[in-house]
Structure 1
Amino acid sequence: LLGKALALLPRDKAEAMAEEVGQEYGRAMAQGLTGADRAADMAAGQRSLRSAMQAVADALSAHGFAAHADQRNNQLRIINNHCPFGDVAIEHPVICAVDRGMVKGMLATLYGDTDPSTLQSLAQGDTFCATAVS
Structure 2
Amino acid sequence: MEGETRSQVMTLLLKHGPDTATGLGDRLGLSAAGVRRHLDILVEEGLAETVDWRAGKSAGRGRPAKHYRLTNAGRAEFGHAYDTLASEALDTLREVGGTEAVHRFARKRIEEIVDGIMPSDGSGQSIEDTTEQLTEAFDRHGYAASVTKAGAGIQICQHHCPVANVASEHPEICEAEHEVISSLVGVHVQPLASITDGHGICTTNIPLTPTEHINSERSGS
Per the normalisation by structure 2, the TM-score is: 0.42
Residue 66 (structure 1) shift: 1.0
Aligned 8 A contact 1:104 1:114 in 2: yes
How far apart are the structure 2 equivalents of 1:5 and 1:76? Answer: 37
* 1:54 equivalenced with 2:138 (yes/no): no
What is the aligned partner in structure 1 of residue 203 from structure 2? 130
Residue 102 (structure 1) shift: 3.6
How far apart are the structure 1 equivalents of 2:206 and 2:94? Answer: 27
Which residue type is aligned with residue 58 of structure 1?
A: E
Residue 74 (structure 1) shift: 1.9
Q: Which of the residues 88, 91, 108 maps onto 1:4?
A: 91
Q: Percent identity?
A: 23
What is the aligned partner in structure 2 of residue 71 from structure 1? 149
Aligned 8 A contact 1:65 1:83 in 2: yes
* 1:114 equivalenced with 2:150 (yes/no): no
Q: Which of the residues 162, 170, 179 maps onto 1:84?
A: 162
Distance 1:87 1:104, change over 3 A: same
Q: Secondary structure at the match of 1:48?
A: helix
Distance 1:77 1:6, change over 3 A: farther
Aligned 8 A contact 1:21 1:101 in 2: no
How far apart are the structure 2 equivalents of 1:31 and 1:88? Answer: 22
What is the aligned partner in structure 2 of residue 32 from structure 1? 116
Distance 1:27 1:7, change over 3 A: closer
Unaligned runs of 5+ in 2: 1-85, 208-221
Aligned 8 A contact 1:78 1:130 in 2: yes
Equivalent pairs, count:
117
Give the structure with the larger helix fraction: 1
Q: Secondary structure at the match of 2:188?
A: coil
Q: What RMSD over aligned residues (CA atoms) do the two structures have, in Å?
A: 3.6
What is the aligned partner in structure 1 of residue 19 from structure 2? none
Per the normalisation by structure 1, the TM-score is: 0.64
How far apart are the structure 2 equivalents of 1:48 and 1:76? Answer: 12
Aligned 8 A contact 2:107 2:173 in 1: no
Residue 7 (structure 1) shift: 6.3
Distance 1:28 1:90, change over 3 A: closer
Residue 125 (structure 1) shift: 0.7
How far apart are the structure 1 equivalents of 2:128 and 2:141? Answer: 20
Aligned 8 A contact 1:93 1:124 in 2: no
Structure of higher RCO (CA pairs closer than 8 Å, 6+ residues apart): 1
